[in-house]
Amino acid sequence: QIKEAKQVHTLQTNQKRSKTKGLTISGLSQSPAWKALEAHYASMKDVQMKDLFANDPQRFTKFSMEFEDILFDYSKNRITEETMDLLYDLAKQQDVMDLAKKMFSGEKINNTEGRAVLHVALRNQSNTPILVDG
């Protein structure tokens, strides 16, 4: 009975997948932005990292950033400016900016559990509270 209950719960959870602009997370892999990324991956999968650096002397500058004393260097990944554009397109398609705003305001964006995600509230160091349900 426990195994059956878990299967029912999993089925119900999968049916409640998060929806963004009418596209379910489970349908993400069928979306135009995802398909474009898949095609891009196929063209990039055999590219050598040494060639990416050799062909672009500004690669480190383009694909790294600093915040205070933290360096985030993602130049050593098999990405190009096209990769980043395609990832931004996917983020736009999935309405990530709007979801981020909703997350920071305490709105219920966890549709699976029907509640707000409180990741940012746990790390909130400002004097501005993040209110959920009043």
Measure the CA–CA gap between 2 and 53, rounded to whole angstroms. Answer: 54
* Beta-bridge mates of residue 33: none
Is there a contact between 121 and 29 (Cβ–Cβ < 8 Å)?
Answer: no
- 70 compared with 1, residue with greater pLDDT: 70
- The pLDDT tens digits for 59-107 are 999 999 999 999 999 999 999 999 999 999 999 999 999 988 988 888 8
- 112 compared with 36, residue with greater pLDDT: 36
- The pLDDT tens digits for 8-61 are 555 555 444 444 454 556 688 889 999 999 999 999 999 999 999 999 999 999
The DSSP call for residue 29 is G
